[in-house]
A and B are shown apart, each in its own frame.
Chain A
Amino acid sequence: MPQPQTIIDKLWSAHEILRRDDGESLLWVDRHYVHEGSFHAFAKVAARNAKVAEPQLTFAVTDHYVPTRRPHSEISNPELARMVRQLEENTAAHGITLFGLDDPRQGIVHVVGPEQGLTLPGLLIVCGDSHTSTHGALGAYAFGIGASEVAHVLMTQTIWQKKPKKMRITVDGATAPGVSAKDIVLAVIAHIGADGATGCALEFSGAAIRALSIEGRLTLCNMSIEAGARCGIVAPDAATFSYLKGRPYAPSGAQLDQAVEFWSKLSTDSDATFERDVTLDAKNVAPIVTWGTSPEDALPIDASVPDPAREANTERAAHWRDALAYMGLAPGNRLTDIAIDRVFIGSCTNARIEDLRAAAAVLAGRTSKVPGLVSAGSSLVKQQAEQEGLDRVFREAGLQWGESGCSMCVGLNGDLVAPGERCASTTNRNFRGRQGPGARTHLMSPAMVAAAAVKGHLADVRELLAGRKV
């Protein structure tokens, strides 16, 4: 009898070229995504007079530095234009396909990869961006790396890694209406902590995970880095195969049959064990918002801001005090009493078509009490949303409808939350200054951001969904 294996073991061994005596393995990289921020790595390649080893396995996207308000594919800000031009030059020099500014397939790298069928089950995928964990939603082993490692992958198509510990998060049961993948993953992070999965590869399993659409699974795996995980994985299933069918770079015909046969074996054997197992019941997950400056500072919307004086752990109490001062909140404030200045719907976490539909379902026929921006995850998502009339819903509610990019998640491209402003946001990080110096970010699902927009304060979306089709 062969040893029972987890999906993590199976993906690992399918990519291990060699393992040294010290335990470090050299892994084959199937897919490497690069973006404007990869310029450090291209400079390292140039410094060695080296070539990109596998340009046909490397794909580039402009996302981090592209303004969302850009007429005719032009960037007026010279610094941002230079960042985009640098990527154009580097990819042209090495023969790498670029989904650039004027390409209809442009968008956020973690949205474009799955959308184009470049991200497939069983692949090992890296990118110089921590949210590369997103791609695990399709059953890939995907993780973020730094610039030195990006340079190494460009030159060798391999990466040195030590096999991480294995952790499984099982979410049983079914979620209630108004509760999304974002709420599940925020509940997980609040439960295990922002370092709860550090050093681990994470498999998500259970009925509530199986019930998620591919979009929902992408949100889930996207945020696994916010629990410190190396990567997050959902085993591929019929929903995965159906999502991939007909996508431009996905296999087709006989090759698809061959691939599906391989992909179908990518699940954890029933007797396989994990170093750590955590179980949650989906029925206990309510719509969640963050109140502090770490994604672990997350609570159900009907809760109140916690009191550091009542926290026994002194380190955590100190963090809470610091977070409350930065966020301009006091212990005991009801979350639903927190007034907001702005909303943002976008980012690699929550800007896929399903996310935009969920927000639009709440906003339809209503007005936002605060200004806000909606930036679709890709130019193709934007196009589809426009075909469905979602752009009209957002515009009629008073929100701006921008082009696709990392936008107000990352503070790099001109989309910023002003100092002291409070933003209800579908993004992944409520870090101090993440959306701009002094910005105060509350993370939540797209539907919850829409609810906050309608009310002008953090609000329970379930009250706004009564009688609506979602």
Chain B
Amino acid sequence: MDNFHTLTAVACPIDLINLNTDQILPARYLKWTRAMGLGNVLFQDLRFDAQGRERADFPLNNPAWRHAKVIVGARNFGCGSSRESAVYALYDYGIRCVIAPSFGDIFSGNAVQNGLLTAIVTDEEVAEIMAALVRAPKLALTIDLERQSILCNNRSYAFSIDPVRRMRLLNGWDDIALTESYRDRIAAFRTGVHAQRPWTFPHS
């Protein structure tokens, strides 16, 4: 996994609450492997109409925001289905950070596994950042994970992120290698479960 330190990039505002993972990546692409180009079908049904023409009013189709690496979203971004492919689609499109007042739990867990930063600011701050981006679409934001800050138009916003997730993104940890370092404790715990709650091991 790539780690994340700082990023200065164009940011695309998408002002839709409860923007769920079915919108980020429609179900019909879930059978695709990542190599098939999930980034190309990011927000497919919001970006394109049924004939495959771009919807001019979807922000990511605005020429200024087409190559954004940051999305500024509304509350409950990424709610719904647990599909990690939604994160693959965002990442493979080029998105490295989503800023929003709140995120779906499973989505933000999936994001950290793939080097995508989910930064939380208040509703009011999101509204201010979005307004600044609408006024000056080419404005670049600078996101500093070490300092947990977003610089927008000379104004600095502090963002929050779970400290464990922050460390993971900064260091690009490999979870499985880490877990395997606790192999003996896992084995001992398993023995205890087997002795105390034998019914949890099914035999039919």
Chain A positions within 8 Å of B, measured between CB atoms, are: 17-18, 22-24, 26, 28, 30-31, 37, 40, 43, 48, 50, 56-57, 65, 79, 82-83, 117-118, 120, 122-123, 128-130, 144-149, 151-152, 155-158, 160, 162, 194-195, 198-199, 225, 228, 230, 248-251, 255-256, 258-259, 262, 293-294, 296, 315-316, 318-319, 322, 410-412, 419, 429, 431-434, 437-438
Of the residues A144, A198, A431, contact of B22 by C-beta under 8 Å: A431
Once the chains are docked, how many angstroms separate the CA of A144 from the CA of B79?
12
Contact B199 A319 (CB under 8 A): no
Contact B186 A255 (CB under 8 A): no
Question: Chain B: which residue is nearest A196 at the CB level?
Answer: B76
6 nearest A-B pairs in the assembled complex, by CB-CB distance: A146-B110, A251-B199, A146-B84, A148-B113, A195-B76, A147-B84
Complex-state Cα separation, A129 to B80, whole angstroms: 10
Task: Note all chain B residues with C-beta closer than 8 A to A162.
Answer: 162, 164
State which of A130, A315, A318 has its C-beta within 8 Å of the C-beta of B106.
A130
Residues in A with CB closer than 8 Å to B175 are 148, 152, 160
Q: How far is the CA of A411 from the CA of B165 in the complex (A)?
A: 32
B17: CB under 8 A from chain A?
A: yes
Known: A17-B182, A431-B22, A432-B23. A256 touches B110 (CB 8 A): no
Query: Contacts A198-B105, A258-B199 known; A37 to B30 CB distance under 8 Å?
Result: yes
Q: Is the beta-carbon distance between A195 and B18 smaller than 8 angstroms? A: yes
Interface contact B17-A319, CB-CB below 8 Å: yes
CB of B92 to closest CB in A, whole Å: 13
Chain A residues in 8 Å Cβ range of B193:
28, 30
Contact in complex: A195, B23 (CB < 8 Å): no
Is the C-beta of B142 less than 8 angstroms from some C-beta in chain A?
no
CB contact under 8 A between A228 and B85, given known A17-B185, A251-B199, A437-B50: no
Q: Across the interface, which residues of A come within 8 angstroms of B197, CB to CB?
A: 122, 259, 262
Asked if residues A40 and B85 are in contact (CB atoms below 8 Å), the reply is yes
**Contacts A24-B164, A412-B30; is A149 near B109 (CB within 8 Å)?**
yes
User: What number of residue pairs across chains A and B have CB atoms under 8 A from each other?
Assistant: 177
Give the bracket for the number of chain B residues in contact with chain A.
35 or more
- Measured in the bound complex, the distance between the Cα atoms of B180 and A157 in whole Å is 11
Instruction: Enumerate chain A residues within 8 angstroms of B106, measured Cβ to Cβ.
Output: 130, 144-146
Q: How far is the CB of A104 from chain B (nearest CB, A)?
A: 14
What are 24 A-B pairs at a CB distance below 8 A?
A17-B182, A17-B186, A26-B186, A40-B33, A40-B34, A56-B202, A57-B201, A122-B200, A130-B81, A146-B110, A148-B84, A148-B175, A156-B176, A156-B186, A195-B75, A228-B76, A228-B105, A248-B204, A315-B74, A412-B31, A429-B22, A431-B80, A432-B22, A437-B26
Cβ distance B177 to chain A, nearest Cβ, rounded Å: 10
The smallest beta-carbon distance between B196 and chain A, in angstroms, is 8
- A contact residues around B186 at 8 Å (CB): 17, 26, 28, 156-158
What's the nearest-Cβ distance from chain B to residue A27, in Å?
10
Query: In the complex, which of the residues B17, B23, B105 contacts A315, with contact meaning CB atoms closer than 8 Å?
Result: B17
In this complex, what residue of B is CB-closest to A16?
B189
A163-B81 Cα distance, complex, nearest whole Å: 21
Interface residue B118 (Cβ < 8 Å from any Cβ of A): no
Determine the chain A residues whose CB is within 8 A of the CB of B154 once the complex forms: none
A144: chain B residues at CB < 8 Å are: 82, 106
Residues of B contacting A429 with CB < 8 Å? 20, 22, 80-81
The answer to whether B20 touches A431 (Cβ under 8 A) is yes
Q: How many whole Å from A180's CB to the nearest CB in chain B?
A: 23
A261 to B175, CA, bound (A): 36
Once A28-B193, A147-B84, A315-B75 are accepted as A-B contacts, the answer to whether A195 and B200 lie under 8 Å apart by CB is no
Q: Establish whether residues A194 and B164, one from each chain, have CB atoms under 8 Å apart when the complex forms.
A: no
Q: Enumerate chain A residues within 8 angstroms of B162, measured Cβ to Cβ.
A: 162
B79 and A228 contacting across the interface, CB-CB below 8 Å: yes
Verify A438–B182 contact, CB threshold 8 A: no
- The CA of A79 and the CA of B175, in the complex, are separated in Å by 32
- Give the Cβ gap from A114 to chain B, nearest Cβ, in Å: 13
Contact between chains at A130 and B80 (CB < 8 Å): yes
A156-B180, A433-B26 known; A148-B110 Cβ under 8 A: yes
Inter-chain contacts of A148 with B (CB < 8 A): 84, 110, 113-114, 175
Q: How far is the CA of A249 from the CA of B113 in the complex (A)?
A: 34
Flag whether B99 is at the interface (Cβ < 8 A). no
Q: A194-B18, A256-B199, A258-B199 are in contact. Are A26 and B179 (CB under 8 A)?
A: yes
**Chain B residues whose CB sits within 8 angstroms of the CB of A437 once the complex forms:** 26, 45, 50
Known: A319-B18, A412-B31. 14 other contacts (CB 8 A): A17-B182, A18-B182, A23-B164, A122-B197, A130-B80, A130-B106, A158-B179, A194-B76, A228-B105, A258-B199, A315-B75, A319-B16, A429-B20, A434-B27
Known contacts A65-B31, A256-B199: does B26 contact A411 (CB below 8 Å)?
yes
Per the bound structure, the CA–CA distance linking A437 and B41 in Å amounts to 14
Closest to A432 in B: B23
